[in-house]
Amino acid sequence: MELTEAQQQARATWAAGDYDTIVEYIWSAGGDLVRRVAVTEGETVLDVACGTGNATIPAAETGAVVTGLDITPELLDGGRRRAAEAGVEIEWVEGDAEALPFDDGSFDVVLSTFGCMFAPDHQKAAAEIARVVRAGGRIGIAAWTPEGNIGSFFGALASFMPSPPEGFQPPTLWGAREHVEGLFAGTGVEPRFEEAAVDFRYESMDELRDEFVPKFGPLVMLRQAVEPEGRWEEAKDTILTYFGEANEATDGSVAYPGEYLVTLGTKGG
């Protein structure tokens, strides 16, 4: 599998840090997506950019026949371990969301939970999702909204990031309804939307600083990029200030909602 520079960067980003710890905070969103799409026993399901399986494993627990695909081998290793612990059988495939290695109409259901949104070419990823779902089949995609806490968090760090390549589209556009409608226009998939959120909670700001900051892949990569320039302490202060302002708890802990958009749809015949 030949990867572009942007795809290589994405793979390195999600391999950095400790994704297995970070995913615990968003694990519930996978099961919620499976319920919203109403995955049932015997259906064939593909989870695109599956990570360590937060939608893949709940889908398999329904009795569906499930494949999880991700571009990052380290995440697939975590998925295999988690699937073994859950006692479910899943086919794990290393692959690219922009060039899915499956025939047209291969799946009854295609899912993605905070996954395909990070593929560099949004249009290609959407076209591939629509291509591999069968006529009458269903899709379910969860993506952070641009205006929500997670989208705003990424925006707060923009000044520390290198200039994006020409044509770059922010991943959180997958959380904007008009953008997603445009992505699926002409594919046979008619999207509809629901709003949801996951709750991020830490015992204290110190725990957030010690657990989240050094373990979240994008922040690990950010540190590597800006520390030689002497800007890491400034960036870290920006991170902690942002979460301090977003904090809804009043007892010394940290709590804030991570708002996301759920895209659901059925492919016409």
Comparing 155 with 7, the larger pLDDT belongs to 155
Domain count, the chain: 1
Does residue 144 belong to any structural domain of this protein?
Answer: yes
Q: Are 45 and 109 in contact (CB under 8 A)?
A: yes
Which pLDDT does position 97 carry in this prediction? 96
Confidence of residue 202 (pLDDT cuts 50, 70, 90): very high
For residue 158, give both structure tokens: 């923009």
CATH number at residue 90: 3.40.50.150
Average pLDDT over residues 174-183: 98
Q: How many Cα atoms occupy the beta-carbon half-sphere of 192 within 13 Å?
A: 6
- Residue 107: exposure state from Cβ atoms within 10 A (0-12, 13-18, ≥19): buried
Does residue 228 belong to any structural domain of this protein?
Answer: no
Does residue 174 belong to any structural domain of this protein?
Answer: yes
> Is the per-residue pLDDT at 22 higher than 80?
yes
Which amino acid, residue 3?
Answer: L
> Is the per-residue pLDDT at 4 higher than 90?
no
Torsion sign over Cα 146, 149, 150, 155 = positive
Q: Read off the pLDDT of residues 76-103 as tens digits, 9 standing for 90 and up.
A: 999 999 999 999 999 999 999 999 999 9
For residue 45, give both structure tokens: 């399901």
Give 58-62 contacts, CB < 8 A, sequence gap 24+.
Answer: 58/30, 58/31, 58/34, 59/34, 59/109, 59/111, 60/86, 60/88, 60/89, 60/90, 61/86, 61/88, 62/34
Q: How many Cα atoms occupy the beta-carbon half-sphere of 157 within 13 Å?
A: 26
Residue 19: domain span? 5-151+160-201+257-267
Chain centroid to Cα 264, Å, comes to 16
Per 3-state DSSP, what percentage of the chain is helix, strand, and coil (rounded to 5)?
45, 25, 30
Does residue 104 belong to any structural domain of this protein?
Answer: yes
Does residue 224 belong to any structural domain of this protein?
Answer: no
Which pLDDT does position 8 carry in this prediction? 82
Does residue 33 belong to any structural domain of this protein?
Answer: yes
Does residue 242 belong to any structural domain of this protein?
Answer: no
Average pLDDT over residues 2-29: 86
- Percentage of residues of the chain with pLDDT beyond 90: 83
Does residue 216 belong to any structural domain of this protein?
Answer: no
> Is the per-residue pLDDT at 166 higher than 90?
no
